[in-house]
Amino acid sequence: MPSARGKFSKNFKLGFTFILEKCKIRVRQLRKVLDLLVHTAQCRSAKCQYTNCSKVKGLFQHGIHCKISATGGCVLCKKMWYLLQLHARGCKESECHVPRCRFMDPFYYHQSLADFAPFPVL
Ligand SMILES: [Zn+2]
Ligand SMILES: [Zn+2]
Ligand SMILES: [Zn+2]
């Protein structure tokens, strides 16, 4: 006869495994997006093979022309900054093409990541 306590710990374990799996998927997705970011920064092809390349290109364009900006509360800009920041932290490239990679604004470096949208919709 299974005790109530046994059932609880089993559910807890299942929940924990679920969270771990979810994290793993997110890290994998994030890595893909960061790879895409590096690609898009130097992509000159109008008909690129990457499905999401044009979306990231659009995001870069938006960042250049946006009048609201991340500080003004623009969601798209915040997403872009979040990605650029993540990239810049892990980037070892001395001649990186990613916008602002070598000159990351200290303001964004110190801002809490919790203020940014957790993941871009690509
Ligand atoms: Zn491309
Ligand atoms: Zn914007
Ligand atoms: Zn870089």
In a domain, 33, yes or no: yes
Within 10 angstroms of residue 23's Cβ, the number of other Cβ atoms is 10
In a domain, 37, yes or no: yes
In a domain, 120, yes or no: no
pTM here?
0.65
Residue 112, pLDDT > 80, answer no
Nearest ligand to the CA atom of 40: 1
Domain span at residue 97?
Answer: 4-115
The pLDDT, as a whole number, for residue 115 is 43
User: 37: part of which helix (H) or strand (E)?
Assistant: helix 4-41
Q: What is the mean pLDDT of residues 76-82?
A: 86
In a domain, 102, yes or no: yes
| Angle, CA 81 vertex, CA 74 and CA 59 arms, to 5° | 70
CATH of the domain at 108: 1.20.1020.10
Q: How far is the CA of 97 from the centre of ligand 1 (A)?
A: 13
Q: Kindly indicate the confidence band of residue 39, based on its pLDDT and cuts at 50, 70 and 90.
A: very high
In a domain, 121, yes or no: no
Q: How far is the CA of 8 from the centre of ligand 1 (A)?
A: 49
Within 10 angstroms of residue 77's Cβ, the number of other Cβ atoms is 19
Q: How far is the CA of 47 from the centre of ligand 1 (A)?
A: 8
Identify the weakest region by mean pLDDT among 46-50, 81-85, 104-108: 104-108
